[in-house]
Structure 1
Amino acid sequence: MAAAPLYCVCRQPYDFNLFMIECDICKDWFHGSCVQVEEHHAADIDVYHCPNCHPIHGPSLMKKRKNWHRHDYTEEDDGRRPVQAGTAVFIQQLKTRHFPSAEEIVVRLLGSHVTWHYLETEGFQYPIIVEDMEGLGLKLPPTSFSVRDVQHYVGGEKVIDVIDVARQADSKMKLSEFVKYYYQPNRPKVLNLISLEFSDTKMADLVKVPDIAREMSWVEKYWPHDSIFPKPFVQKYCLMGVKNSYTDFHIDFGGTSVWYHVLWGEKIFYLIKPTKTNLELYESWSSSANQSEVFFGDKVEQCYKCVVQQGTTVLLPTGWIHAVLTSQDCMAFGGNFLHDLNIGMQLKCYEMERRLKTPDLFKFPYFEAISWYVARNLLKTLKELREEKCQPQGYLVEGVKALISALKTWLRRELTAPNSEIPDHIRPSLLIKELSWEIRHLEAQEEDSSKAVKSQGNASFSPERHHQARKVARRFKDHHRRYHHHLQHQHQYHHEPKLQSNLDILELHTREVLKRLEVDPLKEQDSDAGSKVNRTFKKVVQSSATTVDGNHDNALRLVLCNGRIVCERLRLGNRVLKAERDEALPCQQHHISPEKPSSCQQVKMEAGLQCVARVTHHAELRIKLTNLSVLKKKEKDEEGEKDKEEQIESSDSGSSEEEECEMRNSGSQHKPLKREHPSSPSRVPEGGAVTQGTWSSNSAVCVSSTTVAVEECLCTDSSLSSVFHPSKRHTQNSSPISNQATKGKRPKKGDATSKQRLSKLMKMSTHTRLLL
């Protein structure tokens, strides 16, 4: 194996961490520290002669300055090239510029007021200035602390990064060399030291970070002691700048927030809000080729000037774009920290750094690794809040959402460009899944609560809602009055009401009974189209005769008049039908016990049709409905549907034809039909009560359903009455409803024949799609 080549007068292998310069004569490489050449001086050398070539070829040749407004001061000054940032001309122009005062945006507070509770409540969106550090928890050296003292505590051999302001270029040098430069009476260059992190030095004991920065810092809160990655040290920086030092517009790495304290001297901050537009302009400006020739403050709407004097502390929020000018020699202390209040903005800044291909040296150390640690701890926090039934803060929910999106992006990136910062003991896919579930759960709760609050707020405060509610109340009141007040007390309408169809009359009555009985949903026998029209019902077995006797207001009288069916609801009681005089009684809930399905459906339907055929044109039907469900048709608008309902008074005479039908169906010695169940139900006792296990004696059609648990009986009334004017009707009760009371009577002379009545009813059944 060949030996590594040796360089310099020290004959050591090449070390990329050390600055080296090439001799233009012998082409050998030399360490800057070995030949007494500093890195920032190397840019000023035009031709370099090493110590070996110096005796023969003379000293090195230096570049000649030809301008004061360009980074390359050897360019010819023809007046056509723009001024670049950091040059002497630029600094002079910057001092003469006018900027709006930062008092419009900064928040001035006492040190004791800058607490976690305050920032969590009020937010951390604008810079905070504290003129007296008392109450901040900040500890600093005295104002007599000097640059030499820094060298004493940190060590002169520490290599630091300095900025050549005129060229806006970075270079490395030892701290002892910078101290030597600082105390020169005539400084040949403007050098700025802003990146001396001293957490691992003796000077760390002299400085204590403000309490708020330590409490909020992700590194302090979430970084585990057993992490495989080295802990980031970004909390303690010493900034030593000479007069006219300038740092161009930038966002601190990783979108971190910053605390600054000017120990002595003065600094001027130029602040720009991190709005969406400004961030887009900043990214475009940073990636442009002529970045140094354009003052970014001129591209945005507002750029504020903030002068920070000795003894003042500044807290700069996440993402703020800022430039800094050192108006006089200054020493300041500061630090960076990530926190929970602005997670989304921090992630945006980090992704912007990636797009701009920022070197790792100027990025937050292990930003992705600490983000995974934070995600794990935030998941634990969300779980605890959910178990305690507490709602997390809005900023935390939004931050977790942004973090989930970033983690997914990083996880996909690992497949194509492995550069993993995922801790070994974290399962990334499971962590993302659990965080996403917690967010979905919170969103569902938030949506439910917002709907409830919205509906309550609209009902309480919206005048339109009040008007609509009153309108609905009036409609309901009219509906209640129309169907529950006595028909004799109704007033004549001022306009002709809309005529109701036969099916509408039955539907309205059915809905009323449903509301009073509070029955279970009705189930159809079949799912085919025929079952929608020919609905079959089962007979009802009442659980208590007393209950039925107290609920006789469920009767409906149907009267055929001029080829149409009109309805009149009557109350059944004490073996007679009498017109309603008072408002309907409160509904009584009945407990119905269904019977077993019967096997004689067809025979019963035929027998029922034969009975209906004998009913005269004054046929009156009474329907007893129990356990009905909400019908499929939506309830039509109740307004304008009132009909002039003719009131029918029951007469003492009845139809013998109907009585014979009733006797045939419910006589004391009932003979079952061919396919009827052997155990035929008994007749109804006088008084209208139906005991458990009996059938209604007035049934005209009764069909059992084998698939539906609800039961219903379609009944016909045996009592008939003539149509009188309401003023001429009798007030006495109608004749008893009993097969024995009307047995043997025949139809009056002149009434229609059974064949004619059957023909009319069949036509009506065809048009109304109603099976009787």
Structure 2
Amino acid sequence: MAAAPLYCVCRQPYDVSRFMIECDICKDWFHGSCVQVEEHQAVDIDVYHCPNCDVLQGPSLMKKRHNWHRHDYTEPDDGSKPVQAGTSVFIKELQNRTFASGEEIMRRMKGEQVTPRYLERHGFNYPIGVTEMEGLGLKLPPPTFSVKDVEQYVGGDKVIDVIDVARQADSKMKLSEFIKYFTTPHRPKVLNLISLEFSDTKMSELVEVPDVAQKMSWVENYWPDDSFFPKPFVQKYCLMGVKDSYTDFHIDFGGTSVWYHVLWGEKVFYLIKPTPANLALYEAWSSSPNQSEVFFGDKVEKCYKCIVPQGTTLLIPTGWIHAVLTSQDCMAFGGNFLHNLNIGMQLRCYEMERRLKTPDLFKFPYFEAICWYVAKNLLEMLKELREDNCPPSTYLVEGVKALISALRTWLKREVTEPTSEVPDHIRPNHLIKELTKEIRYLEEEPVSGSKPVKSQGSGCGVASGSNGCPATRSTLEKLCQARQARRAARRLREQQRQAPKVPSNLDILERHTREVLRRLEVGPLEEDEAFCAKVHGKLNKVSTASAAAAESLDDNHLRLMLSRHLLFLNALRCKQVLCSPCRERPTSPSTEEAIQGMLSMAGLLCSSKPEKVASPQKPWWSSPGQCSPLEQREAAQHQHRLQGDKSPMDSQGNSSEAWDNQGLPSPLNRSHGSSPETDYQYCDPSMSPPLHPSKRHAPNPPPISNQATKGKRPKKGMATAKQRLGKILKLNRHSRVFV
């Protein structure tokens, strides 16, 4: 493979990112930085001689000037061609023109008055001038800050785009070269720097944008941190222009609103209102071949002149057509921001840029992507307002309608122009459908004008009645808190849906119980030696007396103990379902203790505290007062079956003779001196701690029967427990089981 050709005195291959110039003698190419030729200087050279040819042929030949009113000053000056924008003749004529005063449209305000709340109430349709900066939230360097300080903070090697004003053409150069030009008393041409974005430099720490721009900005509020697209940086610009710098009429990219602050020097703005007629004229003028020869201010009904002196801040709304003249050397700071107040106008300006085939370099970065992010957030906002029964502001409804129309157009355009800016995690068709549905709700069910209207875009918002009077502070705080709570709950639900579900103690216990039931149905547990050894070991850890008592129980008693565990488990499940609106809500402390106790018994949870050993003098099952009435009733029913009790049963399987007039099992009402066989009630407090008094059952519950429930369906969980209990009791009574 052939090696890449080498160029210049540095003998390096061609680099598309670096400016190069061809020698007209030897036809070799040279980097401008290697031969000390700037890009803006190259257009003035007629015949270039490289350093090698310069020795033999002499210095390069420069172009001869024939006029001062044309971009190409080499054209013959016959006086028949019109003046072009930016030339020295044009600047003189502009300064002698008469315009309408900017005070006719300018709103003079104090910094503390310029807030999102004010703009939401009164609109942001006219320029705002601020001279008293207190309360605006704007932070800037002192007026002594110079262009050399900019070079120190940003770095002299940074490549910037500058405008050759006389030709209205862009060229690239290093910041250090521009600073050298700016500080030179003799300037052969007028250069203007308006595109130095410094958010990623040290100078960014010296500047904070106004609060109103920060709080309303789409990028600051809606751009996600995990976006695939790089975040647009358009909020902090440093503008350095020498005297007679001029920028012709334009609309800022994407219809963004602008804030300007003149640190020192002076700027003159020529402002034109963005009426439909003026916008149509502007688009026709921008696409015309003789655009530079026509002063657009002459084509509209009114063009306003606004002088911005040192220390003044100017805010220009969406879509305003404006030109800027630097009447004296000036340094200014500014920034652009999209917002909710003028969505329709922003989209219209963007579509105009597409029709005019504006290069991507001069368009808002990833404009369509930010619109998709905004659409997703506005959908959430509309849902919250509907839940609050607060109708959204008119500007927001109209903006969402315009946004829906634009999103549909972009999706159709993807078929022929596959340059998608749709974020990966957004379903575009579903999002458009949901937004359309919310607008339909507003149109089909209009809310009375007497109800409060909540504003959007600045924190918790503002509510006002039909007469525009603000609501009370307490009402606003409640609305704000409710809105924040809903957002937090929605985020929590999304996180829970995405995160893998961790089994709770109750889930572990249920799995263990089902496994034991499965083993009982298959056959005796003694066949599984490992399992039996584990169970015996865990029971021996509780107490010697407990282990001895467990060995003395017959199979029916042990099955009854297992059924009690399963019944208690279903009761816990029922408690969680019926008493808590959220299934993920943690159980109460007493319930959690019960679950952990059963897990400890099953060998699935080891307690860090030493367990108390039951007293051998008193059997651990001989305390009926610690058993719940439901457990006592089940034990009594089982005891009657063991004794061959033939008493008639009701429709639910309960013995009518087993209950006295008080609704308690008859064995519990006998004297304390009766035999242990008749007084036996199964209850194991060491395995299942007693419930908190507020969680216990009623002391004398009525019997469960069709008559008691009057044909109603029994509570959830009880029928399942009884079915399981009956199934266990039907097993072989002669097999020994240890649990």
Q: Report the alpha carbon displacement of residue 60 of structure 1 after superposing the two structures with TM.
A: 1.0
Distance in 2, matches of 1:6 and 1:128, equals 56
Residue matched to 1:343: 343
Q: Following superposition of structure 1 onto structure 2, how do residues 379-398 of structure 1 map, counting pairs within 5 Å?
A: 379-398=379-398
Helix, strand or coil: the match of 2:172?
A: strand
Q: Report the alpha carbon displacement of residue 449 of structure 1 after superposing the two structures with TM.
A: 5.7
Q: Following superposition of structure 1 onto structure 2, how do residues 485-500 of structure 1 map, counting pairs within 5 Å?
A: none
* 1:176 matches 2:176: yes
Residue matched to 1:754: none
Residue matched to 2:204: 204
Moved runs in structure 1, 4+ residues, more than 4 A? none
Helix, strand or coil: the match of 2:91?
A: helix
Q: Report the alpha carbon displacement of residue 301 of structure 1 after superposing the two structures with TM.
A: 0.2
Q: Report the alpha carbon displacement of residue 3 of structure 1 after superposing the two structures with TM.
A: 2.6
Residue matched to 2:432: 432
Per the normalisation by structure 2, the TM-score is: 0.60
Q: Following superposition of structure 1 onto structure 2, how do residues 549-628 of structure 1 map, counting pairs within 5 Å?
A: none
Q: Report the alpha carbon displacement of residue 52 of structure 1 after superposing the two structures with TM.
A: 2.1
One-letter amino acid of the structure 2 residue matched with residue 11 of structure 1: R
Residue matched to 1:423: 423
Distance in 1, matches of 2:281 and 2:8, equals 47
Helix, strand or coil: the match of 1:268?
A: strand
One-letter amino acid of the structure 2 residue matched with residue 271 of structure 1: L
Residue deviations 1:265-312 (CA, integer Å, cap 9, x gap): 000000000000000000000000000000000000000000000000
Residue matched to 1:214: 214
Residue matched to 1:328: 328
Distance in 2, matches of 1:133 and 1:2, equals 64
Residue matched to 2:149: 149
Q: Report the alpha carbon displacement of residue 6 of structure 1 after superposing the two structures with TM.
A: 2.1
Helix, strand or coil: the match of 2:33?
A: helix
Distance in 2, matches of 1:439 and 1:29, equals 62
One-letter amino acid of the structure 1 residue matched with residue 350 of structure 2: Y
Query: RMSD of the TM alignment (CA)?
Result: 1.2
Q: Report the alpha carbon displacement of residue 59 of structure 1 after superposing the two structures with TM.
A: 1.3
Distance in 2, matches of 1:435 and 1:29, equals 57
One-letter amino acid of the structure 2 residue matched with residue 12 of structure 1: Q
Distance in 2, matches of 1:417 and 1:325, equals 39
Residue matched to 2:66: 66
* 1:78 matches 2:82: no
Q: Following superposition of structure 1 onto structure 2, how do residues 258-273 of structure 1 map, counting pairs within 5 Å?
A: 258-273=258-273
Q: Report the alpha carbon displacement of residue 5 of structure 1 after superposing the two structures with TM.
A: 2.3
Q: Following superposition of structure 1 onto structure 2, how do residues 333-482 of structure 1 map, counting pairs within 5 Å?
A: 333-446=333-446
Q: Report the alpha carbon displacement of residue 388 of structure 1 after superposing the two structures with TM.
A: 1.5
Residue matched to 2:639: none
Q: Report the alpha carbon displacement of residue 360 of structure 1 after superposing the two structures with TM.
A: 0.8
Distance in 2, matches of 1:359 and 1:311, equals 34
Distance in 2, matches of 1:422 and 1:6, equals 43
Q: Report the alpha carbon displacement of residue 153 of structure 1 after superposing the two structures with TM.
A: 0.3
Distance in 1, matches of 2:196 and 2:441, equals 46
Q: Report the alpha carbon displacement of residue 132 of structure 1 after superposing the two structures with TM.
A: 1.6
Residue matched to 2:110: 110
One-letter amino acid of the structure 1 residue matched with residue 53 of structure 2: C
Q: Report the alpha carbon displacement of residue 23 of structure 1 after superposing the two structures with TM.
A: 1.4
Residue matched to 1:244: 244
Residue matched to 2:718: none
Q: Following superposition of structure 1 onto structure 2, how do residues 685-764 of structure 1 map, counting pairs within 5 Å?
A: none
Q: Report the alpha carbon displacement of residue 12 of structure 1 after superposing the two structures with TM.
A: 1.9
Distance in 1, matches of 2:2 and 2:425, equals 43
Distance in 1, matches of 2:231 and 2:96, equals 44
One-letter amino acid of the structure 1 residue matched with residue 424 of structure 2: D
* 1:36 matches 2:36: yes
One-letter amino acid of the structure 2 residue matched with residue 29 of structure 1: W
Residue matched to 2:483: none
Residue deviations 1:165-202 (CA, integer Å, cap 9, x gap): 00000001000000100111110000000010000000
* 1:137 matches 2:137: yes
Distance in 1, matches of 2:15 and 2:405, equals 41
Helix, strand or coil: the match of 1:35?
A: coil
Q: Structure 1, unaligned stretches of length 5 or more?
A: 451-772
Residue deviations 1:231-279 (CA, integer Å, cap 9, x gap): 1100000000000000000000000000000000000000000000000
Helix, strand or coil: the match of 1:220?
A: helix
* 1:229 matches 2:229: yes
Distance in 2, matches of 1:132 and 1:140, equals 14
Helix, strand or coil: the match of 1:416?
A: coil
Residue matched to 2:57: 57
Distance in 2, matches of 1:50 and 1:277, equals 53
Distance in 1, matches of 2:145 and 2:51, equals 40
Distance in 1, matches of 2:448 and 2:121, equals 22
Distance in 1, matches of 2:399 and 2:7, equals 53
* 1:9 matches 2:17: no
Q: Structure 2, unaligned stretches of length 5 or more?
A: 450-739
Distance in 2, matches of 1:162 and 1:178, equals 8
One-letter amino acid of the structure 2 residue matched with residue 413 of structure 1: R
Residue matched to 1:274: 274
Helix, strand or coil: the match of 2:193?
A: strand
Distance in 1, matches of 2:419 and 2:23, equals 38
Distance in 1, matches of 2:323 and 2:270, equals 5
Residue matched to 1:188: 188
One-letter amino acid of the structure 1 residue matched with residue 67 of structure 2: N
Helix, strand or coil: the match of 1:307?
A: strand
Distance in 2, matches of 1:338 and 1:147, equals 29
Helix, strand or coil: the match of 2:419?
A: coil
One-letter amino acid of the structure 2 residue matched with residue 432 of structure 1: I
Structure label with greater radius of gyration: 1
One-letter amino acid of the structure 2 residue matched with residue 68 of structure 1: W
Residue deviations 1:414-438 (CA, integer Å, cap 9, x gap): 1111111111111111111111111
One-letter amino acid of the structure 2 residue matched with residue 108 of structure 1: R
Residue deviations 1:436-492 (CA, integer Å, cap 9, x gap): 11111111123x869xxxxxxxxxxxxxxxxxxxxxxxxxxxxxxxxxxxxxxxxxx
Distance in 2, matches of 1:20 and 1:381, equals 53
Distance in 2, matches of 1:14 and 1:146, equals 37
Distance in 1, matches of 2:4 and 2:360, equals 29
Q: Report the alpha carbon displacement of residue 389 of structure 1 after superposing the two structures with TM.
A: 1.3
Helix, strand or coil: the match of 1:52?
A: helix
Distance in 2, matches of 1:267 and 1:34, equals 37
Residue deviations 1:199-231 (CA, integer Å, cap 9, x gap): 000000000100000000000000000001111
Q: Report the alpha carbon displacement of residue 50 of structure 1 after superposing the two structures with TM.
A: 1.3
Distance in 1, matches of 2:430 and 2:28, equals 56
Residue matched to 1:302: 302
Helix, strand or coil: the match of 1:33?
A: coil
Distance in 2, matches of 1:418 and 1:385, equals 36
Residue matched to 2:96: 96
Per the normalisation by structure 1, the TM-score is: 0.58
Residue matched to 2:285: 285
Distance in 2, matches of 1:81 and 1:216, equals 47
Distance in 1, matches of 2:128 and 2:20, equals 44
Identity fraction in percent: 79
One-letter amino acid of the structure 2 residue matched with residue 260 of structure 1: Y
One-letter amino acid of the structure 2 residue matched with residue 56 of structure 1: L
One-letter amino acid of the structure 2 residue matched with residue 148 of structure 1: K
Distance in 2, matches of 1:223 and 1:420, equals 17
